[in-house]
Structure 1
């Protein structure tokens, strides 16, 4: 094997020498043209005449556009003819050089031991080789550092940091490449089988360039083929988690965390600045969507995660928030625009958190890091299944008390009372309408009935506040009935508000809820709508597909639920 490498290296030296002797060259070809002027009396019109000429034309392509030039006979023609011939020789030598180098690379990367003794020798030599390359890289960096200090007369810390980071990445990539390509020799005769149990035939070793957190490396892998399935298989790609991808798991992790927080175009710049990796925004977008689907599958398979304690109170809260989508995603849907169209789709977001004790002021206190999120653009029925699964993961059966908090949206209380195919799972839950949302309703009446009298509005609403805080919903209803609306619009506001309080009165016994030490506000889920959804999916100029939005929502819910590390550990263990 060593002799073969030396032979190829010798041929390469000869090719390099021949390349240096090619001389000046230019691309293109020279053609010889004859033309007929079209005059009947001219000799070129006679039969057998080729026409006026010869005319020598040099032509080539620049940026996919044809470029040509008429050449004068004599020195100019001879010069162009010589240069184009030199280019032809240069091209042939380059092709030969590429072929030879590929053969050399394949052999040098795939030096396979012919005996156990040779294998052991290769293993022992690897650390020595890596140390030599590391030493060379460090020496190169030091030369640059001392040269810069001499020129500037001082140290530039920022430049030094970035230089050393680049150098360390170069060392790291070489170390990683050599380590991954130095595995013990696997005999091509080893039998690999596909998922259907068919034996696969070893074909050859193939290289693959992948981007890692320390830079690009070339990976050597064994390629097998299953003739029955008509598919190829690379065991090493599956083992390393790079099957169907040119990005390492570490890079995909970086993409996931950055791309879930920033727009894809800004993520490209952030990743470049923070890690030195050049990954375009489209690749970031594709990988974020792919990760989002993997996250969805992972969460669905979770059995129990961060389960509640037996003495805890579990809160389940829901809300909806609009996300801008592509026009095709709102076709046929009624919206709030003047023309009746919609520009958004509603994301249903749910959260689960727990409370064990009260704070020093006897107010309910949420357990630290106890909040987990689920969400998607989907129907209420589908979302109820998602939320139910999360409540189960969090140990709803173990909780001392279960509370459902939300605003007045009908779909929230449909889930709470019916929970669709899971009827009764929340039947023991205490249902609480967000206090601040309830207050907004009687304020709507005050503004409608006393539109020009702010003092009257405040005085009337203040009395309703005391009644509502005391859980006396009936008193609030009676007060609204006593109002004298001056127009049909105000009358309609009062009627709808009365119905609202009647339909939700048992969810507004705030004196009882507070006596039990319970939360009466939906601040956690409202903040979640802003932090989990709004900060990433509602930026200026964004328009999502439903599937694209859902993958990013899945990513953000996982991260905000403190499951990011667990997700990657599960992927590594798979």
Structure 2
């Protein structure tokens, strides 16, 4: 490690070089100027980091210390590379050693200075959190490319996975420990849905683990072999996507303004997990109680999944249940196409009439209309069986959910009747990031990215970074977590 005087001289030299270059009178394009100026700023940043480390190393430090229930002693020095935003610098510090009495084995090493500085396995915390944030927004390869374009260096691909594993591994704990917002509204809204992300199957995982061999056959030979042995068409339940559902919930409140109207959403937060619907509801129950469930008026919106509604009755029986308006509208269009031509004015008029009836709490009128239409379709004849089945399905759907259609009351109170918030969360949290072309995830890392994405979409990343800064340094594992495959069970 250079002395403070030497490091200080390097800083002055970097500043002088930047000033001298900026004052040069030669003709340059702005592209050239920005490129060189940024390189000089990065060099100055590295020099400042070295000076900072030199000053930290010069501080008095006890040779003997206690840590993790043991007694340690500073021994030999170790020089490694420390990766910062400005680039890599060499870092020399003394290593702590603890020997077991009577043992000839080399004692385990400890790096107390790294711990005091909050270093993360050879990376600065800003690097780890910066990479994790990029990986929550884009593919790992694009995250590395973006970092390289900005800082002119990038961590190795496996290091990127280690950073995501470390940051994602504490993301859910951060979300669960968040206190309720102080400026919440009077009405609590809960919305639940799910969206699939492609997972690596067990068969594909085993294929990836096999050693790769260079192909010995020509492209023509391989093409002829594929033509001679075509793959059978995948049937229902055996699709290539191999999706695992990400069970997602959105919580927010509505606040009454000076005009008496409810405004929102206020303090919208997203939670999501690949575990199960029940695991999501257990988590959602804790979050909802923090936000005032049991004391505030609570709305629960979802689509027609019977499993969701069973869990709603179990975890949120006091909430006012409401079937998603737009989901119901799709069923009305489906019913209308059973007796009106697709795209016709008659179809649009019929659907509009049924929507108006539902808004006015005239559910019986809608059901009577559907029963009359069903009775009017002959049991025999071309296409009549399918039309009757579709109409009967819609009729049964509305009958099953009629107690979850308080649209007239909700509209009068200025409340939401659509689950657009959770639909948007599924799109932004799951599909945009995890359902990319050719993506195949392992369950653990997908869960990490999912939680990081929830923090990002909930606009909590700055608080998450502060949480990481105040806690002990993130522990980067020596190797990335192995991929955990998942295979969708085939439909019976």
TM-score normalised over the length of structure 2: 0.80
Aligned equivalents of 1:359 and 1:515: distance in 2? 18
Aligned equivalents of 1:454 and 1:363: distance in 2? 38
Instruction: Give 1:457 deviation, angstroms.
Output: 2.5
- Match status 1:485 vs 2:377: yes
Residue 273 of structure 1: aligned partner? 149
Residue 561 of structure 1: aligned partner? 458
Instruction: Give 1:443 deviation, angstroms.
Output: 1.5
Aligned equivalents of 1:358 and 1:144: distance in 2? 58
Number of residue pairs the alignment of both structures matches: 430
Aligned equivalents of 2:258 and 2:407: distance in 1? 19
Aligned equivalents of 1:462 and 1:185: distance in 2? 77
Residue 346 of structure 1: aligned partner? 245
- Match status 1:409 vs 2:305: yes
Aligned equivalents of 1:477 and 1:155: distance in 2? 76
Instruction: Give 1:429 deviation, angstroms.
Output: 1.1
* SS of residue paired to 1:356: strand
Aligned equivalents of 2:203 and 2:262: distance in 1? 41
- Judged with a 3 Å threshold, the aligned counterparts in structure 2 of structure 1 residues 359 and 530 are, in CA distance, closer, same or farther, namely farther
Equivalent residue runs for 1:88-127 within 5 Å: 109=2, 126=4
Instruction: Give 1:189 deviation, angstroms.
Output: 6.2
Equivalent residue runs for 1:364-383 within 5 Å: 364-368=262-266, 370-383=267-280
Residue 200 of structure 1: aligned partner? 72
**Which of structures 1 and 2 has the bigger CA Rg?**
1
Instruction: Give 1:351 deviation, angstroms.
Output: 0.7
Residue 200 of structure 2: aligned partner? 326
Residue 474 of structure 1: aligned partner? 364
- Match status 1:220 vs 2:92: yes
TM-score normalised over the length of structure 1: 0.69
Instruction: Give 1:411 deviation, angstroms.
Output: 2.7
Residue 535 of structure 1: aligned partner? 432
- Judged with a 3 Å threshold, the aligned counterparts in structure 2 of structure 1 residues 315 and 188 are, in CA distance, closer, same or farther, namely closer
Q: Which moved more, 1:446-455 or 1:164-173?
A: 446-455
Aligned equivalents of 2:338 and 2:234: distance in 1? 23
Instruction: Pick one of 360, 384, 394 that aligns with 2:291.
Output: 394
Aligned equivalents of 2:38 and 2:286: distance in 1? 45
Instruction: Give 1:363 deviation, angstroms.
Output: 6.8
Residue 496 of structure 1: aligned partner? 393
Equivalent residue runs for 1:16-95 within 5 Å: none
Aligned equivalents of 1:395 and 1:206: distance in 2? 53
* SS of residue paired to 1:255: helix
* Equivalent pair of 2:7/2:50 in contact (CA under 8 Å): no
Aligned equivalents of 2:142 and 2:57: distance in 1? 42
Instruction: Give 1:319 deviation, angstroms.
Output: 1.1
Instruction: Give 1:198 deviation, angstroms.
Output: 2.1
- Judged with a 3 Å threshold, the aligned counterparts in structure 2 of structure 1 residues 328 and 394 are, in CA distance, closer, same or farther, namely farther
Q: What's the CA shift string for 1:518-543, capped at 9, x where partnerless? A: 11111111111112222111221211
- Judged with a 3 Å threshold, the aligned counterparts in structure 2 of structure 1 residues 329 and 509 are, in CA distance, closer, same or farther, namely farther
Q: What's the CA shift string for 1:72-108, capped at 9, x where partnerless? A: xxxxxxxxxxxxxxxxxxxxxxxxxxxxxxxxxxxx6
Instruction: Give 1:515 deviation, angstroms.
Output: 1.2
Instruction: Pick one of 431, 448, 454 that aligns with 2:321.
Output: 431
Q: Which moved more, 1:444-453 or 1:540-549?
A: 444-453
- Judged with a 3 Å threshold, the aligned counterparts in structure 2 of structure 1 residues 452 and 266 are, in CA distance, closer, same or farther, namely closer
Q: What's the CA shift string for 1:230-269, capped at 9, x where partnerless? A: 63211122222224x1211011121012111111111111
Instruction: Pick one of 116, 136, 146 that aligns with 1:260.
Output: 136
Aligned equivalents of 2:309 and 2:204: distance in 1? 25
Instruction: Give 1:303 deviation, angstroms.
Output: 4.9
Residue 317 of structure 1: aligned partner? 191
Q: What's the CA shift string for 1:35-63, capped at 9, x where partnerless? A: xxxxxxxxxxxxxxxxxxxxxxxxxxxxx
Instruction: Give 1:202 deviation, angstroms.
Output: 3.0
Aligned equivalents of 2:419 and 2:61: distance in 1? 63
Instruction: Pick one of 170, 181, 184 that aligns with 1:306.
Output: 181
* SS of residue paired to 2:45: helix
Q: Which moved more, 1:466-475 or 1:129-138?
A: 129-138
Q: What's the CA shift string for 1:310-341, capped at 9, x where partnerless? A: x511111111112122123999xxxx962531
Q: What's the CA shift string for 1:288-312, capped at 9, x where partnerless? A: 2321112123223x15142463x51
- Match status 1:292 vs 2:179: no
Residue 210 of structure 2: aligned partner? none
* Equivalent pair of 1:191/1:199 in contact (CA under 8 Å): yes
Q: Name the structure, 1 or 2, with higher relative contact order (CA <8 Å, separation 6+).
A: 2
Aligned equivalents of 1:307 and 1:492: distance in 2? 51
Instruction: Give 1:279 deviation, angstroms.
Output: 2.5
Q: What's the CA shift string for 1:335-385, capped at 9, x where partnerless? A: x9625314211111111111113698x8753145x1110001121111111
Residue 55 of structure 1: aligned partner? none
Q: What's the CA shift string for 1:405-457, capped at 9, x where partnerless? A: 111122321221112xxxxxx22211111111111112211113335683443
- Judged with a 3 Å threshold, the aligned counterparts in structure 2 of structure 1 residues 391 and 337 are, in CA distance, closer, same or farther, namely farther
Instruction: Give 1:145 deviation, angstroms.
Output: 5.1
Aligned equivalents of 1:227 and 1:563: distance in 2? 44
- Match status 1:445 vs 2:324: no
The unaligned stretches of length 5 or more in structure 1 are: 1-107, 112-125, 420-425
